[in-house]
Amino acid sequence: DVKVTQSSRYLVKRTGEKVFLECVQDMDHENMFWYRQDPGLGLRLIYFSYDVKMKEKGDIPEGYSVSREKKERFSLILESASTNQTSMYLCANGDQYGYTFGSGTRLTVV
Amino acid sequence: GNSVTQMEGPVTLSEEAFLTINCTYTATGYPSLFWYVQYPGEGLQLLLKATKADDKGSNKGFEATYRKETTSFHLEKGSVQVSDSAVYFCALVGRFSGGYNKLIFGAGTRLAVHP
């Protein structure tokens, strides 16, 4: 089975900090995605990538950037964390036959 | 545009009751359809899928049939258990502008099953 690993389950950061959320896949999938999940808003796509060094904005990219230097790793970067970025962040990979999700990182910005 | 609409929750049922969670979609072309489940404190897991019209996806007693004529993919289970308590997400994947595949989710439906 494809495995998607997010490096942290829980993070607490201060306002203004630069935050890195890491995601690693153990298969050779080209497609990787970052979502955030908030109560009442469901899952919203932040960024996605279809190949190394390639990235595309999703529906809510403001305040975020991404990095994909290697195929197996897709990082989400909060350039200057703010309290409204407190959320559950989910990484996924896959294609039209299905996506595999990581366990999620619950980020709290104080 | 492309979207997924599913019934609002929470859905509260007694154990062994019949479950239906409605899901309808709007999409161009022929998207693949999915149900994902999220148990408390965990990430999303693929529950079942269907990739073409009239396909039936099934897993763990859950079923859903891809109905192109009604653009629906309703989730059903004949007898729910307490362990089925979770949030269920309907989703689709299709080729959108730029030729990319994107997974679009519904808002999720929380199911609570009581003994």
* B5-28: pLDDT as tens digits: 998 889 999 999 999 999 999 987
Distance CA B101, CA B91 (A): 12
Span of A96-100, B3-7, B80-84, B97-101 with lowest mean pLDDT:
B97-101
Which chain A residues have a beta carbon less than 8 Å from that of B98? 56
Confidence of residue A53 (pLDDT cuts 50, 70, 90): confident
Contact check, Cβ <8 Å, B94/A101: no
Collapsing DSSP to helix, strand or coil, A86 comes out as: coil
B44 touches chain A (CB under 8 A): yes
Q: Does the beta carbon of B57 lie under 8 angstroms from any beta carbon of chain A?
A: no
- List the structure tokens of B98: 């730029």
pLDDT at A12: 97
Distances (CA, A) of B35 to A8, A12, A34, A108, B75: 26, 31, 19, 28, 8
Pairs across A and B, CB distance < 8 A: 55
CB contact at 8 A, A2 and A26? yes
